[in-house]
Every structure is written in C-alpha cells, then in structure tokens.
Amino acid sequence: MTAPLSVPLAGSERLALADARPAGAVDPAEQIEVTLVTRRAASLPTDAADVPLRQSRADLRERYGSDPADQQLVADVFARVAPAIRITGRDPATRRLTIAGPARELAQVFGTEMTLATSAGAGGEPVSHRYRTGGLHIPAELDGVIVAVLGLDNRPQVRSQHRFADPATVQTSYTPAQVASIYEFPVDTDGSGQTVGIIELGGGFATSDLNTYFSSLGVTTPSVIAVGVDGAANMPGQDPQGADAEVLLDIEVVGAVAPGASQVVYFAPNTDQGFVDAVTTAVHAEPTPVAVSISWGGPESSWTAQSMSALDQAIADGVALGVTVTVAAGDNGSSDGVSGTAPHVDFPASSPHALACGGTSLSADPATGLIRSETVWNDGASGGAGGGGVSVTFPLPAWQATAGVPASPAGSTGRGVPDIAGNADPATGYQVLVDGQRTVIGGTSAVAPLSAALTARLAQAVGERLGLIQQSLYVGVQPGQPVADVRDITVGTNGAYSAEPGWDACTGLGVPIGSALLAALSG
C-alpha cells in the first residue's frame, strides 16, 4: 500500500536476489533508521570535460549541498503524514537527512513491503537481512526533493576485492614498499602531511598487528584512526579469512608505501546505505583527505539507480575538493562474477569520478627493480582475474573519449574500466600480517590502496591535492598508442577483453611510472 498522494521515486527499483530465501516477517515495531538524500541546491559546476571544478570546503557545502529549506520541508511533511517517523539528523552540507521509525510506518509511507530473507554475504556465508523488491513511493510534495531512500533493504551490497594466495601457486611475493620501488614511486617522498581515507564494510584491525608488521619493515607505525559510521565499528578478530584481511591489507599497503601519511579508516555496514554514508563522511572530513581508497564493489546490475547516483555524487564531491578516490576494479574478470556470458563492470569503479584500478601479474627482481614481465592478472575462474569492461550505466567521459573504448554490452558508448593497473595476482602478491598470521594476498583490493599511497606521495611532492588525476593521464591518448608516464601492458586477457597497445579493458592505460608521473604533474 502506498501513502496517500504519493509518487514513484525514480531509480528506487530493487531487483530480486536469485539466492534469497524467505526468513520470516519483519517486526512491524522494529525501529529502522533510513538515510534520505536530498537534491543539490545547485548543480556542481564542471569544466568542458564535465569534471567538477575545484571548490573550497565551505563553498561546496554551502552552495552545492542541499537547501536547508528542502530538508525542513521533508521534516514538515513527515510530521504531518507519518507522525511516528522522527527526524534523527540533518546535514544539508552533505545532502543527507536521517529518519527513524517503526518498520510498519516506514513501509507504508514509502509504499513497499519488507520481509526478512537470507542470502550470501560478502564472503559467501549466509546473512539474514531486510528485503524488498520493486520501487518506492514518496509523498507527492517531496517529488524531486528526495532523490534517494537508503536503508529499508539492508542486503549485503558489495564484496571485498582481495584474494589469498595459494601457497602451491605462489611464484614470488613482495612487500608493498618493494612494489612501490619497482614502479618507481617518487624518491624522497613518504606522504608526509597527507591524510588517506580508507573505506571498510566489515572487519577490523588490532594496533598490535600494525606495530608488529611495520616494525618488521623498519617503518614507524603510521597514525591510523578508526571511525564508525551507521553503528559499525572496528571489530578485529571476527573474520580473519575475510573482512579482517581486507582491512589489514589496505592499511598495511598504504602505511608501507606512504608511512608519513595519516590514515583514517571508516567502518560502515555492508549495505548501500552504509557505503554511501561512509564515502560521504570520508570525503567531507576535516582535514580533507588527499585520497580515499575503496577495495569493495559489486556489479552495476546489483545496484539500484538511486544508490549508484548517490554514491557517484559523493565521489564527485570528493573530486571538487581535490580528493582522488581510488577504487578496485574487481577480481572476477570481465564477467564480474555475474552468471552468463555477458561482460559486466564493477561499481563504484565504473564511476566517472573514480580512478578505477585493474590488476596485473608482476614478475620482478625487488633488489634491482628489474621487471622481467608484467601481464594481465588472470588465474582462471577459481583463481580470479582483473575486472574491466564498459559501463552500461555511465556514459563515456569526455576525458576518455579518444582512448578507443569499445561499445558497451548494450551497444552504447560507456565509461571504460579500468584507468590504470598494478600488481594484483595473489601468485605475485603482497606480504602482509592478518590477525597475527603472516600471509600473501592479492586482488585489485591491493591496487586501490597502492594508488592512494602513490597519490599521497605525488601530492606531497607537488604541494597540492590532485583530484581526478586520470584526466591528466588521458590527455592526447589515441587508440592503440601507448601513453606517456605509464608502462603499457599488452599481454593477457580478462575473459571478454584482451590487452593491447594503448588503453584496454584489462589494464586501462597501464601501470603508472611514479617518477615520470611526478615530472608531468610538476611540469
């Protein structure tokens, strides 16, 4: 049943989960907190390539957040049509307003039905959650004012993009600092004066692990602060084979490569609401981070349009503030883990405001930095492969228009993924410490924090945040032509796509050469 005088909320349609199993009814009296995203007071100004122009923190929040009058209207309408629903928070600057109330009233006012279901979580384990299908409705007076309603359905939204190495297949492994040296990250830089945000949707870390790990590398343990979002918290020791591994991989890669940078780790529930709230909190934090690393994602087809738009716009806020948001492109090749033969890309890597990070298999001598070979990471269906392809959601960005991105599976032009790549093969993976156990981990999960750490070192050297750094990388790019400042990867396939000279949907433009990139940015 929909609320009186209600209208459909565009983009709110939830698809059924193929593996969802009924798990009973939602308690009608259960108190649920929901995030509402309200419209911008004005559109973000952009350049000719549709990239958000740089803004001060005050200007972004005051001019391009939500009009406080819009959020007051929301409060007034809910007070009238659903008195049992209360406003629990307002933040016009980040365009969020939170409400809470009994499940019965929330379902009625948003015109939906919630049940309980069990489906696979991020690590494949069964998870019980609230569940809905179809679209939502909102009071007619709020048509166009509310652009997203997040949190009614709290199914697991994404998975972490890391993979443990099989000891039987490990060819070689590296410390993160060795990979940075092989990739010629700028010398005499360590990220000092910079802050890197890290998004985690589960797991945790223990300071004792960090002290042990960084001490073994001869590095002072960096400043690492945990921040809870939407009731989540740093919970180490709960999932050493899953989310803990992701958390520690991210922190240890950033800390080993940019030990001078401070880290803020944002823990949120693995839901679309938690993801949007975590990224929004991170990019709007003080001090403004130089980079935000995201090693979680899911196929575009698993998202609602409203949640994709809300997260993309949160990342766009980051670009306007000069934040580089680095995102893992996925570990399941061109299928992105979706059944069938059609290619899929991972989101938020497919956001045109994110730096999408693909995967390679690196054979090199860490003592000399000599690279023997570097190819597309592809260990087969069971071993994983670097994600990449063409978005069916986001159009081809102007800054990528001359790269030779092929048509999307829908036959349209779309955002090409990834932009860059780095070592991700577990068989040539990273030496890390997880819950007291030394292990080797790979996945494009490692490339996102590696790229965030590179961004911190570059920003330290040039004296400013870099924002949408790939806009500079794509200048003058032509199909089939290698690009300056990156090392082209031309061997391998991720399934539907093959590596080739120039940009490709396996490794993007290639692997950044840190010293060359610094020279270009300085020039």
How far apart are the C-alpha atoms of 414 and 410, rounded to whole Å?
Answer: 9
How far apart are the C-alpha atoms of 360 and 376, rounded to whole Å?
Answer: 4
Taking each continuous run of H as one helix and of E as one strand, the counts in the chain are: 11, 27
- Report all structural domains of the chain as residue ranges with CATH numbers, in order of start: 6-150 (no CATH), 159-522 (3.40.50.200)
Alpha-carbon Rg for the chain, nearest whole angstrom, is: 22
The encoded tokens of residue 288 equal 């403004």
How far apart are the C-alpha atoms of 230 and 236, rounded to whole Å?
Answer: 18
pLDDT in tens, 465-486: 999 999 999 999 999 999 989 9
Tell me the average pLDDT across 82-108.
97
Q: Which residues contact 185 (CB under 8 A, 6 or more apart)?
A: 257, 453, 454, 457, 514, 515
pLDDT in tens, 379-425: 987 789 999 999 999 999 999 999 999 999 989 999 999 999 999 99
The encoded tokens of residue 464 equal 């400013």
pLDDT more than 90, % of the chain: 92
pLDDT at 2 > cutoff 50: no
Inter-residue contact 309 to 318 (CB < 8 Å) = no
Across 53-85, b (16+ Cβ under 10 Å) vs e yields ebbebeebbeebbbbeebbebbeebbeebbeeb
Residue 432: which H helix or E strand, with range?
strand 430-434
Q: Quickly list DSSP for 129-145.
A: EEE--B--EEEGGGBTT
- Residue 1 pLDDT: 42
How far apart are the C-alpha atoms of 293 and 301, rounded to whole Å?
Answer: 22
How far apart are the C-alpha atoms of 157 and 311, rounded to whole Å?
Answer: 13
Do the bridges between strand 262-267 and strand 195-200 make them parallel or antiparallel, or are there none, so unpaired?
Answer: parallel
> Which residue has better confidence, 121 or 7?
7
Tell me the average pLDDT across 14-41.
95
Tell me the average pLDDT across 344-350.
98
- Which residues are registered as beta bridge partners of 430? 174, 441
**With DSSP H G I counted as helix, E B as strand and the rest as coil, what are the percentages for the chain, rounded to 5?**
25, 25, 45
pLDDT at 168 > cutoff 90: no
- Residue 4 pLDDT: 56
Inter-residue contact 268 to 278 (CB < 8 Å) = yes
Does residue 348 have a cis peptide bond before it, meaning omega lies within 30 degrees of 0? yes
The encoded tokens of residue 377 equal 């990471």
How far apart are the C-alpha atoms of 376 and 358, rounded to whole Å?
Answer: 9
pLDDT at 274 > cutoff 90: yes
Of 37-41, 73-77, 379-383, the range with the lowest mean pLDDT is 379-383
Can you give the pTM of this predicted structure?
0.97
The encoded tokens of residue 479 equal 């199909």
Instruction: Catalogue the active-site residues.
Output: 246, 250, 445
Tell me the average pLDDT across 176-189.
98
- Residue 299 pLDDT: 97
Residue (of 344, 284, 286, 287) closest to 315 by Cα position: 284
Inter-residue contact 190 to 460 (CB < 8 Å) = yes
